[in-house]
Amino acid sequence: MYASLLTRRYLSTKLMPYVAVLAVTVCTAMVLVAWSVMGGFLDKLLASGRVFTGDVTITWPTVGFAHSDDLIRRLEARNDHVAAAAPLIQTMGVITLPDDQVVPITIRGIDPVRYARVVDWRGVLYWKPIDAPVPKDRAAEDPRLDPQWRARMEAALRDGLSMSRPDPVTGKPVPAAVPGIEVSGLSRRQPGAWYEFRKESFGKPNADGSIDWVGGFMPDRSVTVRVLPLDSKGRDVALVSKTLPVANEFRTDVFEIDKRSMLMPIDVLQKLLKMDESDAVAAEFNPYEPPGPDGFAPVPTTGRSPARVTSVVVKGQPGVAPDALLNTCLAVYREFADAHRGIVPSYAAMRGNERFPPRLIQTWEMSQAQFVGAVRNETGVVVTLLSFISLVASILILAIFWAMISEKTRDIGILRAIGASRAGVGWVWLRYGLLIGVIGGLLGVGLAYTVATNINEIHEWLGRAFGVQIWNPAVYYFTEIPRKVDPANAAKVFLGSVGFSLVGALVPALRAAWMDPVRALRFE
């Protein structure tokens, strides 16, 4: 009882303990903010890439596999587990932007309607009319709000949904591309989290020396796509290019995706990649020998080669566990491979084995595992490092208590003289450390919560006031700093703070406990 009385008194009459509380508060907040940002990052990472991946993806990369429609039919027949499936072609290419920049890009060919049944890609189309400004656009400068632009935005949305744009002359819809909003560099992200496009025109020289003046609104422009078609064995065919109008742009908020990928209609991409149905060429065909009468080798065909896609994306029925869905997909693929033996990649190749688990039929979690694992690891490293730094608070408490005990030596002698035990006087200080840890920990958790929930505002303010930019979207994928204060983590950090405070108080408490009472009493 006297312990609580004394700790209360010591806390209310001395300044130094407040310094200790402050140290604990800052350390707690620092660890928890870092953890929340990293945790939020991980969370957002897990949630975001999903716009372009199904729950399960079946892939034979680059060259693709045939008869995907049969596979989709078989998958969708399993409607107890499978909600929908759609074809996807994913390839690498380069595109020429309106200002003649050429950039490398990941191209995804999708069927706008079928793909929407598996993932909600429509929600990421950026250019569309909106009625209210986005939360951070305080000045309401978003061009999507502008009544003058409304009709254009409506058209862009319509074009985006159908992935086509009316030909200016005939009015007939032409297949169109939807690049990520960061691809062109013509749309700039504003601090208010909306995009401004380059409204003034820029000159574009033609071959004959004349100059076209063009504006920076991407849905008015077009891009030229170059891809490298490969045959089903991976041999190169030719470099092909095609100019596509831009229908709209998309924005996922994952910087890497917004900057480096583009959507286009699957049938157009399939033709470009020569993955559409075609004459099959004999495997032993050599174009140079022996020459035919016209100087060219005759092309022996072995029938028709079916159209190919690189992936089939699958959406599970609600409530079906990823593993159950994966097993269903594996079983369906096995039937499928049996039915098209020798034409599609074998079940064994797709599935792998126990020690080398499937790479080519995998759940979304599996496809992200390595990356997510790395981020998780990094989170662990950061939290551990910061925790070590927080030991400084322990040391501070140790130093402060040591000094206080030196000053309070006589008090300790008095307490012992009137009957307090060693453990009793030790407990006075341990309890004191505990109190500092609890107060500092609670304040720290509160501070962390406040900082974490306002971290983007704080970051913006830092940027405005000091020109500091800590969060670079190009490095960290997301254009906004993600954060999530996990109560379980908050509890762990809190307990850690209390623990560290106790550790700091322990040594001085032992010193107090082992003091000789008579010497302590004679202490001046």
Partner 1 sequence: MTALLSATNLQKTYRLGRVDVPVLRGVSLDVRAGEFIAIVGASGSGKSTLLHLLGGLDRPDRGTGGDVTFDGRSLGSLSAAGIDRYRSRSVGFVFQFYHLLPELTVLQNVAIAAMIRLGRVGYLRQRGVVTARAEELLGLVGLSHRLRHRPAELSGGERQRVAIARALMNDPPLLLADEPTGNLDRASGLGILEALVTQRGQTGRTIVLVTHDAEVAARADRTVRLVDGRLSGA
Residues that bind partner 1 (CB under 8 A): 1-2, 4-6, 9-10, 13, 410-411, 413-422, 424, 517-518, 521
Using CB atoms within 10 A of its CB, is residue 354 exposed (0-12), middle (13-18) or buried (19+)?
exposed
Contact call for residues 224 and 243 (beta carbons, < 8 A): yes
Rounded to whole angstroms, the Cα distance separating 520 from 419 reads: 14
Strand duo 102-110 + 261-265: pairing: parallel
Residue 124 has what DSSP assignment? Answer: G
| Residue closer to partner 1, measured from CB, 9 or 235 | 9
Least distance between partner 1 and beta carbon 518 (Å): 5
| Residue closer to partner 1, measured from CB, 322 or 424 | 424
Residue 148 has what DSSP assignment? Answer: G
| Residue closer to partner 1, measured from CB, 6 or 307 | 6
| Residue closer to partner 1, measured from CB, 350 or 435 | 435
Contact call for residues 119 and 51 (beta carbons, < 8 A): yes
Rounded to whole angstroms, the Cα distance separating 500 from 440 reads: 11
Least distance between partner 1 and beta carbon 10 (Å): 6
Contact call for residues 75 and 330 (beta carbons, < 8 A): no
Least distance between partner 1 and beta carbon 522 (Å): 9
Least distance between partner 1 and beta carbon 410 (Å): 7
Q: Which residues touch 292 (CB under 8 Å, ≥6 apart)?
A: 298
Rounded to whole angstroms, the Cα distance separating 445 from 54 reads: 37
| Residue closer to partner 1, measured from CB, 330 or 521 | 521
Least distance between partner 1 and beta carbon 139 (Å): 57
Least distance between partner 1 and beta carbon 135 (Å): 52
DSSP H helices, 354-469, are 364-407, 409-417, 422-453, 455-466
| Residue closer to partner 1, measured from CB, 280 or 510 | 510
| Residue closer to partner 1, measured from CB, 13 or 206 | 13
| Residue closer to partner 1, measured from CB, 6 or 30 | 6
Least distance between partner 1 and beta carbon 459 (Å): 45
Rounded to whole angstroms, the Cα distance separating 122 from 104 reads: 24
| Residue closer to partner 1, measured from CB, 438 or 521 | 521
Least distance between partner 1 and beta carbon 15 (Å): 14
Least distance between partner 1 and beta carbon 422 (Å): 7
Strand-pair partners of 204: 212
Least distance between partner 1 and beta carbon 520 (Å): 10
| Residue closer to partner 1, measured from CB, 67 or 416 | 416
* Sign of the CA dihedral with 330 first, then 331, 332, and 335 last: positive
Strand-pair partners of 164: 175
Q: Coil, strand or helix: which one is 58?
A: strand
Contact call for residues 28 and 494 (beta carbons, < 8 A): yes
Q: Which residues touch 94 (CB under 8 Å, ≥6 apart)?
A: 102, 103, 104, 105, 225, 226
> What are the tokens at 106?
């990941």
Q: Which residues of 153-300 form beta strands (DSSP E)?
A: 164-166, 173-175, 178-179, 187-189, 195-205, 211-216, 222-227, 240-245, 261-265, 278-281
